[in-house]
Structure 1
Amino acid sequence: MKKELVVLCTVILIVGLFSGVINAKEEITVWVGGHIVAQEDLWEDIISNFEEQEGVRVDYQLIGFDVYFDRLVVAFKAGQGPDVTFADLGGWVPTFAANGWLEPMDNQLANWNGTNEIWENLWPTVEYKGHKYGLPWYTDCRLLLYNKKMFRKAGLDPSKPPKTWDELLNYAQILTDQGNRVYGYGVSGKKTEVSTLGYIMFLFANNGKLLNDDYSQAAFNTSEGIKALKFYTDLYKKYKVSPSNTLAYGEDEYRNMMAQNKVAMAIGGPWSFPLIEKANPDIKDEYAVALHPYNTKPASVFGGWASVISKQSKNKGLAWKFIKYITSYEVWDMWIKRSGGPLPARRDVAEDSPVFKDSKWQVVLQTFPTAGFRPPIPEYPEVSNVIQTMIQNVLLGKQTAKEAIALAEIEVNYILSK
């Protein structure tokens, strides 16, 4: 009897183990960063649909932008990077590729029917040494985001936003009421990429350049670069039209303050639309965008995110399936219908969706094709870090704009010469 019982238990154990192997699901890890992490419900639905469709499991994390880059670097260096991750179009893809952390995607993209639908000007941001290492997922261009209600209250016409730097300063001074902690313009001063983007916006708008044409040397230590930095930082230091906590604030903080009628103007873009309405649904018809004010020529900078596959991934096939799925016409169409933004990397979705007929989106679509981009080189994150320090040193009064730029030029040239 005991022998029969042992045999029976053994059979049950073997069947159970075999069943577990049969029922085990393929699994991938996915990290998502950037402004889109705020749409938690959407991500939950998209990933659940993929899991059901493919019979797999997706272990995903939504990670805030300010800590995202550092967490990715630590994970990749430890050999524990996620199978799929989002990489900022501002130099992250070539940086990660240069370190051997990414899988080339040339073959997959050559055989995917959506490749030709991606905006053509996005591809250089995901290339490294002639190979494509990412698939752009969404994009944007930076614009002036402003609160129409605050304009009217200050006696300004919301249909006539400022066009020049002089007008920007004039409007910002009219809109500022320090006694009630109301400010005309939000200067990004926190030590993150958004501050670099802020400076680049003003630099390009003054006919300046960050690096030379072959990305081998700094090109911002010029009269155009110095004037751009001085005006950008003077909005906070001299004219006091930006909040007292400017050194801790960036685009996200100003967008939320704008939703509460505390900041009238700031740099924003298409990602801002669903987020500002989420912060305050009543602001839906009370905000707008326009080309950001310039000094010598109109300018913008595009950004966005790409999906990439880790070189360390043990399930690259499933990782590519996931990337194809989230970049499909159907998923993007659903996302836009539910969220209203941001701008898909797919041109066909942008052209077909009635959402993009809105006046705000028309400004985006008119500006995006000619927007500039950050240098697509592995050294860019280091360069950006130098620019962030340069900005903060001026905001803190440690250096003049001229002194800070001279030091930053030396540091950037050293980074590029290594």
Structure 2
Amino acid sequence: MTSTSLAAGGRRRSARAMLAGLAFASMTALAGSAALAADTTTIRVLNWEPGGADYWKALVAEFEKQNPDIKVELETVPFDRYPEVQGPYITTKSGPDVMENNAGLELFDRRRAYAELPPEVLEAGKDLITYSGGCLNFDTTKACYGLPFGYQGNVMYYNKKVLAEAGLDPANPPRTWDEMGAACDKVKAVGKTCLAIGLSGIFPAYWDFPEIARNYLTEDDMRAMLTGKMPWTDPKMVNVLKGLASITEKGWTNSSAPSITMLPDGADIFQSGNAAFAGTIISDAVNWAAFGKVLGDENLGAMRWPTIVADAPLANSFSGIESSVFGVTSWSDKKDAAFKFVKFIAGKENAELLTKIAGGISLNKNVDPSVMPKSQALSQILEIIKTPTLHAGVLLSGQEADALARGWQEVALGRLSVEDWTGRMQKALEQSPSKRQ
């Protein structure tokens, strides 16, 4: 055999050896990847992205950094479509490992879809100002099905530029119902909507009803609502409905109110600069941070809703509640990983992300107040929330919340009397499973 043949044979053997080595390395890498995948648990989280996309991207990144063996897949649904997406999951007992719901009866009505939080997860609740909205009957000694991450509640925002245009003093917004009426007359005279509102969906129950209820109900009355012992035929409850009806009857609102939702439609009217006032919330998508970014922080103010009964015990209080809570689904086969996520939701790291990125007001006691953004509207809100009371909206069953919104739509259109609306509300109460127990 010639030296040339020997050299060629050596090269072929060397090439085969190299290919074999590459194949072995590839197989080893694949095996390593498979082992890594086997050691990673993926949990699905159903949510409506409170606080915005940037906040949630940071939340997931930080959680996965602290828990490298857990991967989070988000299923994000618009708030107004959330029940229709969540409902089939609950019916079929399948789908997400973690789900979001509003605190209070919305969560309690769905509690069979959630696993009770174990003591080691509830430990995170000790660092929160409150977490009772995730616990049955707002009692932390009873079963708890979710933990919150931020503070929530209602205020009325106002556009100082529109008030000035209408000849009103932006430094002194209306404080009473009569003052609100006078202000609305001036705002309408310059071609603007006074109070931007949308009556479709859950928003009237959560954002408007509590602010009228504070004029007529005591905290004991509200607790009676929770247990179904406060009938809608009670004169106090009838007065609440009359107060709501007066908002649209007086012509304070946009004509489209009965046919649109507050989020995004009603909020869009306000942040477009075409309305003087909007009643929304202190955190999440339609708060001071979102409005200030569009209108300019210098043009935005926050106040309590004007009082109807100025000397009512709760008239100058704040309707406060934990923001939405997160719980682990009863059908999840990844409960350990899911419970870690729920615990993280309530922790300090997430609280600081909520404050810095989303402009949210955290419930965690350990967050440094200096990380709060600078905003005049936020400063006003921080004063308002110092006198909290119960949030009547989260004490309504699903049946009552639906009847409230639908009834108000028809009242606004002149198709329903307050008396008939009262009858519908009482019927909804009597049909509420959560209030018959």
Per the TM superposition, whether the score is higher than 0.5 is yes
The one of 326, 330, 333 aligned to 2:345: 326
C-alpha separation in 2, matches of 1:262 and 1:359:
19
Q: Which residue of 2 aligns with 1:273?
A: 288
The alpha carbon displacement at 1:34 in A equals 5.8
Q: Give 1 or 2 for the bigger CA radius of gyration.
A: 2
- 1:169/1:125 CA distance change after superposition, 3 Å: farther
The one of 150, 155, 159 aligned to 2:167: 155
Tell me the TM-score normalized by structure 2.
Answer: 0.81
C-alpha separation in 2, matches of 1:162 and 1:367:
19
Q: Which moved more, 1:49-58 or 1:11-20?
A: 11-20
Q: Which residue of 2 aligns with 1:212?
A: 224
The one of 49, 70, 82 aligned to 1:68: 82
C-alpha separation in 1, matches of 2:135 and 2:374:
25
Tell me the TM-score normalized by structure 1.
Answer: 0.84
- 1:225/1:183 CA distance change after superposition, 3 Å: same
Per-residue CA deviations over 1:32-80 (Å, capped at 9, x if unaligned) read 22642xx212211221232244223211122211011221121122222
Q: Which residue of 2 aligns with 1:3?
A: none
Alignment of 1:18-417 (within 5 A): 18-24=31-37, 25-33=40-48, 35-36=50-51, 39-55=52-68, 56-97=70-111, 100-110=112-122, 112=123, 114-120=124-130, 122-127=131-136, 130-177=142-189, 180=191, 182-195=192-205, 197-207=207-217, 209=221, 212=224, 215-236=227-248, 238-247=249-258, 248-250=260-262, 252-271=264-283, 272-278=287-293, 280=294, 282-296=295-309, 297=312, 298=315, 299-303=317-321, 304-339=323-358, 341-349=359-367, 351=369, 353-355=371-373, 360-367=378-385, 369-374=387-392, 380-415=397-432, 416-417=435-436
Q: Which residue of 1 aligns with 2:5?
A: none
The alpha carbon displacement at 1:307 in A equals 1.4
- 1:34/1:218 CA distance change after superposition, 3 Å: farther
C-alpha separation in 1, matches of 2:71 and 2:49:
23
Confirm or deny: 8 A CA contact 1:184 1:263 kept in the other structure: yes
C-alpha separation in 2, matches of 1:369 and 1:314:
42
- 1:176/1:348 CA distance change after superposition, 3 Å: farther
The alpha carbon displacement at 1:232 in A equals 2.3
C-alpha separation in 2, matches of 1:313 and 1:350:
35
Per-residue CA deviations over 1:146-204 (Å, capped at 9, x if unaligned) read 111111111111121111111112212211248x4x20112441132444541232122
The alpha carbon displacement at 1:386 in A equals 2.0
RMSD: 3.2
Per-residue CA deviations over 1:72-122 (Å, capped at 9, x if unaligned) read 12112222231112211142221221xx21111141235x3x4222123x4
Instruction: Indicate the SS of the match to 1:69.
Output: helix
Instruction: Indicate the SS of the match to 2:253.
Output: coil
- 1:291/1:283 CA distance change after superposition, 3 Å: same
C-alpha separation in 1, matches of 2:46 and 2:94:
12
The alpha carbon displacement at 1:265 in A equals 0.7
Instruction: Indicate the SS of the match to 2:167.
Output: coil
Instruction: Indicate the SS of the match to 2:114.
Output: coil
The alpha carbon displacement at 1:287 in A equals 0.7
The one-letter code sitting in structure 1 at the alignment partner of 2:83 is F
The one-letter code sitting in structure 2 at the alignment partner of 1:33 is W
Per-residue CA deviations over 1:373-398 (Å, capped at 9, x if unaligned) read 24767x81222122222222212222
Confirm or deny: 8 A CA contact 1:137 1:305 kept in the other structure: yes
C-alpha separation in 1, matches of 2:189 and 2:375:
35
The alpha carbon displacement at 1:317 in A equals 1.6
C-alpha separation in 1, matches of 2:403 and 2:278:
23
How many residues were matched structurally?
400
- 1:262/1:331 CA distance change after superposition, 3 Å: same
Instruction: Indicate the SS of the match to 1:276.
Output: helix
The alpha carbon displacement at 1:123 in A equals 0.9
The alpha carbon displacement at 1:135 in A equals 0.8
Per-residue CA deviations over 1:363-418 (Å, capped at 9, x if unaligned) read 345436522224767x8122212222222221222211122112321331232447
C-alpha separation in 1, matches of 2:410 and 2:171:
36
The alpha carbon displacement at 1:12 in A equals 9.2
Confirm or deny: 8 A CA contact 2:164 2:170 kept in the other structure: yes
- Identity rate, percent: 15
C-alpha separation in 1, matches of 2:370 and 2:100:
25
The one-letter code sitting in structure 2 at the alignment partner of 1:43 is W
C-alpha separation in 1, matches of 2:29 and 2:65:
24
Instruction: Indicate the SS of the match to 1:348.
Output: coil
Per-residue CA deviations over 1:249-281 (Å, capped at 9, x if unaligned) read 315433322222111112123221222234x1x
The one-letter code sitting in structure 1 at the alignment partner of 2:63 is F
The alpha carbon displacement at 1:347 in A equals 3.2
C-alpha separation in 2, matches of 1:267 and 1:219:
26
C-alpha separation in 2, matches of 1:263 and 1:359:
17
- 1:388/1:31 CA distance change after superposition, 3 Å: same
The one-letter code sitting in structure 2 at the alignment partner of 1:267 is G
Confirm or deny: 8 A CA contact 2:203 2:262 kept in the other structure: no
The alpha carbon displacement at 1:27 in A equals 0.6
- 1:71/1:177 CA distance change after superposition, 3 Å: farther
Confirm or deny: 8 A CA contact 1:188 1:195 kept in the other structure: no
In structure 2, the gaps of 5 or more residues are 1-19
